[in-house]
Every structure is written in C-alpha cells, then in structure tokens.
Chains A and B, each alone.
Chain A
C-alpha cells in the first residue's frame, strides 16, 4: 500500500471490531482481487461495516458486475426522434425509465426479479417483490396504474411446486390488492427446469406529467436528508448478496435474508410520497431503500448528485433494540425511503408524513466532497468515497463456451418424429390445452384485483392486458404484455430471445397497441460457468438486435443470475415486457371471437416447424429440435398490417399463434360465448407436408384474425401490398364445434365446450385437489 490512511476509531459495538480475514471476505461474496481493490480505494483496511457495505454494493444484484458490459448492447433511446415514445429517463439513470406518451404525459415502468426470496419463502418473497417494484415507480413521481408478473415454476405434478405456486400467487395477491393497483395477470410457464428455482418477476407501470419526474440525486450542500417510512429491523440482512448466490439445500437457513412485507405501510408511503412530491420545489432527490437498504440509497444519491453525504444512525427509526451499524446499514426492512429536501422547508415534509402517521426522521445532510460518512453513537463507523461503491464496482467479461446441446438442436431432423395420424389430432390438442403453460390462468388472476381504479378494459387472459388511464384523466389506454418461451432460448439463445421480443410485441399489436419501449428481466444461471455465460451473452445479443430493428429501446430492467438448483441452471429466461398505447376505445381488440359469421384469416403463412414446440413436450416429453426461425422484416410487416387494419376497424379479434400452435390458437379464440364454433379448411399440409407441424408447430410471425365478411377483400389486398401471406381458414358459426379439414379429409370435429373444459380445469384440478 502506497499511502496508509488513518484507520477509523473502534465501532461502539465491540463485536464489530474483528480482524478482516480471508474467510470473512469470502463470506461476504468478495473475491480476493476485489478486496485488494477495496484496500486501494480506501488506502487502509475496511472495518466490518464497510466490508458489508462493499459486499452488497458490489454484488451482482446492485452492481451488475457480470452483465454491465453486455447491457451496453441495448439501445437506450429511439432512433426516430419524431416517433411517440421518446425516452425521457434512460435505463440505469434512475430507479426506473420513463417514456413520453404524448400531451405532456410520461409512463414510468420497470420489471424486477424476486426469485431467490420466493424460492425460500414464496408468500413473503413474492409480496415484497411487488412492494419493491412499486416503490421504484412512485419514487419517479409516478402514480402506479398497473402490475403484472412473469412467473416460472417446475412441473405442477410436484407437491413442492404446488406449494410454491400457491404461495407466490397469494403473496402477490395479498400485497397488490391492498395497494389497490390493478394486476393485469402476466405470463406463467411450467417447466421442470424451474423445479426448486422458481422465477418471480414483478412489473409496475405508473403515469406522471413530464415536469413531475423526480431524481434520485443528493444535491445542494446543506440540504437535509430524511428517512421516511417504518422503522428498521434485522429482516432481510444482506438480501442483495443472498440473491447473488446459487440456491442450495442450505439456502433455507438464509431465511432471515428474506424480507417481510407490509402492504398497508407501502400504501401509506405511496400516498404520502406522491402528496409530498406534488408540493413544488420541496423534494430535491428521492430514492427507495430496496436492495441494500440504507447503504444503497445513501451512496447512490450522493454518487448521482456528485456530492458527499453524512448520516447519523442514532437518528434512524428502529423497531428492534441494540442494532449495530452493520445491521442498520445492511437491513432490507421494507417500505422505507430516503428523501433529500430543500433546506428550510423541512416542516412541509413533516406535515405530510404526520398526516399519514409515518416516521419522517432527519438523519443527515448533503455535504461537500465525495464521501459517504456514517456515524453511530458519536463515532464514525464508515467513511467511503460514494462513487467507489457505485461506479468503481468491478466489471467482468466472463469466458464463454457453447453448450453441447445447441449443436444437437441445430442438426435435429423433423423426420426423427413419427408422423401424426388424423385420428390422433384431438388427443394431441387436448394434451396441449391441458398443459399448465397453455391452460387458462384464471385460477391465478381471479385472486388479483384487476378491476380496482376502474380502468380495466381488457381483463387478463387476452394477448395483452389493457387499462384505461382514467385516474390521470386521460382518454387513452395502456397495454402491457410479457413474454419468454424458455424452450426456444434453451435450444437457440439468440433466436429464442428474439422470439420473446417479437411475440411480446405481436401480443401488443393483436390488442391494437403500438409498442413503445421494453423492460427486460434477464434470468440466468451462474455467470462463472462458461456455458451459462454463453447463453446469457447470446440472448442479450438477440434481444439487442431485435430492439434495434424495431426501434424499441430498453428503458430499464433487472438481471437475476445464479438461478441454479440441484440439477443445474434454469433455462435461459430473458423475460421481455413492453408497454403500448391505444388512442381510442374502438381500437381495443381482444383475442376472442365475439360472434358467428366472421371470417377467420391466417396471416403469415402456414406453420411448418416443430422444433421446441409444446407438441414435442406433451406427445414425446422432448425439449429438442431446431428453434423456429425469426424473420424480423416479415414480423414488422405483419404487425404494421395488424395495427393499421385495427385502426380502420377491420379486425374484430386477433390472436397470435404461440405455444401449442394453430389449433390451440383457434380453440382459444372460441372460448368466449357458449355455443360458438368454427369450420376450418386447409387445402394442403403446407411447406412441411406434415400434419403435426401444420396444426401444432410454433412457427413465428403468425396471427389468426376474425374479420367481417365485407372486410375480407380489403384485408387480403392490404396483406398483398405488404407482401404478407393471408389465407382464409374458414368462419365462425353457432355449431358449438371446431371442425378442421386438411386436404379434403376431416382431422378434427370436437365440441368446443369439451376443449374449453380441459383448458379451464387443468390448473384448478391440480391445485384444488392438492
């Protein structure tokens, strides 16, 4: 060491005055070279409190040390500066990104994972996941207007999975319902790879005026720093570091690292903060205490504000006695915020919090310089350069190696699968409709209050959830969709990630919404394993290229690594979520057919690929094959056609072909009014010349639309002009049957009610008999 800075005085709690040994460093998840860097930054040995602070701030969860370089591949703003949806706050700048939605309004939205806590304690883990993402949104100054979730579980045959599934859904329901933010459902997949490591990704979107955007920066030397919200306890100690490790049999012992949520407290905090932020000029900076609690909020606000910050832990409200500086700084007690307020206006803040019966404690102030100084019982217990915690965290580019199964997937031949005979079609269709990934998720979303705020326009279960922005007094509709089929990402990470992107965007287009921006949640395995890092890197590249092609930027998101349990890593799961806007009630489109006598058209051509499909899963228990191709230009032409025809009121229903293929898509479109049916006739087996690939293949860029007879020709002409295949399949009727003919012979003639029953009952039957 070149210079040796003076050591800090001993901590008032003697048990913190320990020697920093290599074991202690390793326990804090820091590598020896990372510790050397800390020594260099400080010019002295850190004490235990400081080591804890570095440990959480330099964890993957806070510092993105294994992904920061990759994330730079994402476009963060729109190339077309005249388009709607310009980025007002970019990814990584603040707690959440914000995009312009016109007329002076903005939408803040973000997705975040709570996978590890939910694996250990599903109810609290999922509940606090909702709490955390909601705080990120209202910290921006936005009124939250919708929630969704992207959930992944193992097979529902397992009683342990049922416990996790039930716990997660009731945790989300408990927290979100109490807050009174409509939960529009989201997506739920079931796959063995998530056994023991479920994914719980929570998304929140909020609305605000441009001028209401708040910053998470501590500026203005002398401005007071306030702690608002309930007292700090010992719960959630070191949660950020916990989330940056693999789950093991012993993880249950980490239960203290799981936080406990109090949605009522969050509701108070939400309303008090929005009320406080509505007072002009009062709030200088605000940041929630999420991962790494008080530590993260103080050093990040100071770092963003190019300031120093000083806090006194004696002034921090505490709900347990005898807490030391290590515990207070690293606690992840929920529902707390750090607020920097204009000096001299403290009373205005305090009055708002008194009204809502919440603590508002003046715990420190903004200082000159760049240090984050923490005092406890009159002693300086930490003194660190704030930026060293946020900007100087190590960044790694890990080695990669292509997993062996990718080559096998590319070389797979469809001929390895026996041909499907026409008498096997109905059984195969029922098998798909019963698969929990495809089956109705009503069991989930009937536990979520999706109608509060009076905005729900398209209830969960359609291609996208749609809410009217009534609460802001705007006559527009916000659409939200999440997507990610892990099977495709497993077989071909680059293409699989692109499929997640185009499918999410297609879901919005089917509902009449133009996609504005993306928030993504990258759920992957241990980045130190070259195979896992290869999958991560390829997924990010695929996603980044798709974003660039469609000029849809990424405005924020989250990375969750170390998703491993027992057998190995989860399948790569880069969850893509997009918000879109619909200008008028007439343009809101659903995935279900409303009446008989409508023409059913297939856009995008006959499906002809079977690789990675749920058909292979349900018929042959296989996760194999070549991932379907993605044609970004064709996809864009399809979505542009959908939106333009919806805007001309020519499409009455639209549903994309996804998991389960053409027949599942058709069936779901009829699961609306009792008695509806359809007769469909296909001239031949399509390019693959195979019944299975035609009816159950998951080729991309396909949508079935329902159209009034009078509008058919106009649509066919428009499709021709867009150089897009459009085939008339048949029409809806009142037969109550789905009848399908291929090359002159009937391959399916099934009661829609029977198909619907299989689809509706699959999840309840698993859960109610549990």
Chain B
C-alpha cells in the first residue's frame, strides 16, 4: 500500500477516503488500524474524518495518544506526506503536526453544506493555477472554527501556509481559514471533504484536483499502481 488511511475506532470517513484514492484516483490504498504500526513502504498518510474517540472532550485530544500517531509523527518528520481531513485536521493540530486548534462553530450547530472556498497561492502544488481561484467542497463539522494566536496567524500568512479560505465563513474561523499546511509543505490539514467531491453523483468534482495536489509526489515520482 502506498497510501495509508488511519482508522481510529470512531473514524467514519475512512472508507470514503480509501475509495477516492484507490478506486477513483487509482493509487494503492488501505486502512491501518490505530493500534497497528504504519506499514513499510507507505508514501502518504491520510488521517480521515469522523469522531476518533467520540470527541466528547476535545476533538482529537485522545487520538493523539494512539500508538499510530508516534509513527505518523516520525513519518512526517522524515518528510512523508500527511493529509488530515476534518477530524484528521483536528487530530494533526492536537498532535502538534500543524499549528492552531479547531473549536466549536460560532453558530453552535453542526454544518453539512456545499461550501464555496477561495484558493490561495500556497506552494507549487496548492495554487490557483492548478486548482483554480475558487472551489466548492462539502463541509460537515461541528468544530471547524480555526483558532491560533496572533503570532502563529501572522506566520501562517507570511509563509503562505493558508491553502483554502471560506467565502462566506460558516463557523467563525479566524482569517476565514479552511485549510493550512506546515512550513515545510509536507503536512496538510483542511476541514472540507475533498473525498466527497470526486464522482459524478457527488455535488461536484472539485475534490479530485485537491486530492491529486496532495498526492502529486506519488503520482509523478512512481508509476501509478492500480489496485486489484
């Protein structure tokens, strides 16, 4: 398997993520149980959406202690590609792989809608030339309100680490932030669900270029493996 989808007990977008990478994009992908080690040879990790451990305390606060997260951190430190979607983004923030935190939506309600997003020119993979200036992606979360202190926000903006911004803002996120990357450019996190916008019956296909942008190092550096 080239793309590992981490499965916590309360993950519920794990199948969706696997399906989009394996059956739609055509890379070998599989789910890895949170108590198991990260398999050798994995080239990208996706931490999918869901409610990792119920998330009654704080989203991702327990998941960061799962055995797999040590491996994911090591993988990221060595330059491995990591993407957190929704709950995965929350977990990456809790684990310190990405700065900031995600708190309750300011409307105090869960939001499941197709959300218009502005694409930022972040790096050579995530930019308006590749993704277009605007995207629509599904969001589905109760705690997607991005928070960080002024210094961190300033740093994110100065380094072009913001990937996507909401327009309009559905949850109170600072600077309308919907997705960010780390400074190095190998760890990505976003509240919108690209894996829910990849097939004809989905609201749109805007998730495909987003997933491809994340998986670009795999799609170009090695031959595409089609799963059985």
Contacts and interface: CB of A to CB of B under 8 A. Distances in A.
Interface string A354-378: 0111000000000000000000000
Given A177-B110, A468-B201, A263 B51 contact: yes
Contacts of A585: 200-201
Contacts of B51: 177-178, 180, 263-264, 267
Greatest chain A CB density within 10 A among B15, B19, B112, B113 is at B112
A470 B33 CA distance: 22
Given A447-B111, A451-B193, A267 B13 contact: no
A170 interface: yes
Interface in B195-220: 195-196, 198-203
Contacts of B140: 177, 449, 451-452
Nearest to A448: B112
A265 B140 CA distance: 21
A453 interface: yes
A468 B111 CA distance: 22
A537 interface: no
Interface string A262-282: 111101100100000000000
A455 to B, nearest CB: 8
A132 B100 CA distance: 37
Given A179-B12, A180-B13, A446 B112 contact: yes
A152 interface: no
Interface in B172-228: 193, 195-196, 198-203
Contacts of B200: 585
A450 interface: yes
Interface string A175-208: 0011110000000000000000000000000000
Contacts of A450: 112
A449 B112 contact: yes
A264 B10 contact: yes
Contacts of B54: 178, 262-265, 267
A621 B110 CA distance: 35
Contacts of A173: 109-110
B202 A454 contact: yes
A271 B9 contact: yes
A451 B204 CA distance: 12
A457 interface: yes
A224 to B, nearest CB: 25
A454 B10 contact: no
Contacts of B88: none
Contact of B56 (A177, A264, A267): A264
A420 interface: no
Contact of A446 (B9, B113, B202, B203): B113
A407 interface: no
Interface in A567-614: 585, 588
A433 B149 CA distance: 46
A471 B9 contact: no
* Interface SS of B by simple majority: loop
Contacts of B142: 177
A286 B42 CA distance: 39
A454 B9 contact: no
B112 A447 contact: yes
B138 interface: yes
Contact of A453 (B16, B53, B111): B16
A100 B195 CA distance: 30
A524 B203 CA distance: 39
Interface string B18-32: 011000000000000
A451 B113 CA distance: 9
Contacts of A457: 201
Contacts of B144: none
B50 interface: yes
B112 A454 contact: no
Interface bin, chain A: 35 or more
B179 to A, nearest CB: 18
A170 B142 CA distance: 11
A446 B111 CA distance: 6
Contacts of B15: 453-454, 471
A275 to B, nearest CB: 11
Given A446-B111, A470-B19, A268 B9 contact: yes
Interface string B132-169: 00000010101000000000000000000000000000
Contacts of A445: 112
Contacts of B35: 355
A699 B160 CA distance: 60
Contact of B13 (A355, A446, A452, A459): A452
B141 to A, nearest CB: 9
Given A177-B140, A178-B54, A264-B53, A454 B113 contact: no
Contacts of A452: 12-13, 16, 49, 140, 196
B138 A451 contact: yes
A180 B140 CA distance: 11
Given A179-B12, A268-B9, A356-B9, A454 B20 contact: yes
Nearest to A272: B9
B68 to A, nearest CB: 14
Interface string B91-134: 00000000000000000011111000000000000000000000
Contact of A170 (B13, B53, B109, B196): B109
A468 to B, nearest CB: 5
A162 to B, nearest CB: 14
A457 B202 CA distance: 6
Nearest to B33: A355
Interface string B31-74: 00101000000000000011101111000000000000000000
Contacts of B19: 454, 470
Contacts of B111: 446-447
B110 A447 contact: yes
Nearest to B12: A180
A447 B109 contact: yes
Nearest to A173: B110
Contacts of A268: 9-10
B63 to A, nearest CB: 12
B120 to A, nearest CB: 24
Nearest to B13: A452
Greatest chain B CB density within 10 A among A355, A452, A457 is at A452
A450 B196 CA distance: 11
B201 A449 contact: no
B13 to A, nearest CB: 6
A267 B198 CA distance: 26
A262 B9 CA distance: 14
Contacts of B199: 454, 470
Contacts of B55: 178, 264
A92 to B, nearest CB: 32
Interface in A445-481: 445-457, 459, 468, 470-471
A609 B198 CA distance: 47
Nearest to B24: A454
Nearest to A267: B10
A572 B56 CA distance: 39
A238 B80 CA distance: 55
Greatest chain B CB density within 10 A among A174, A355, A451, A471 is at A451
A263 B52 CA distance: 12
A598 B198 CA distance: 29
A674 to B, nearest CB: 14
Interface of B: 9-10, 12-13, 15-16, 19-20, 33, 35, 49-51, 53-56, 109-113, 138, 140, 142, 193, 195-196, 198-203
16 contacts: A177-B140, A177-B142, A180-B12, A180-B51, A263-B51, A264-B10, A264-B54, A267-B9, A268-B9, A271-B9, A446-B112, A449-B110, A452-B49, A454-B16, A454-B202, A456-B202
The 3 closest A-B pairs by CB, nearest first: A180-B12, A264-B54, A457-B201
Given A267-B9, A267-B12, A454-B198, 17 more contacts: A177-B112, A178-B10, A178-B54, A179-B12, A180-B50, A264-B54, A447-B109, A449-B110, A449-B112, A451-B138, A452-B16, A452-B196, A453-B15, A455-B201, A456-B202, A470-B199, A471-B15
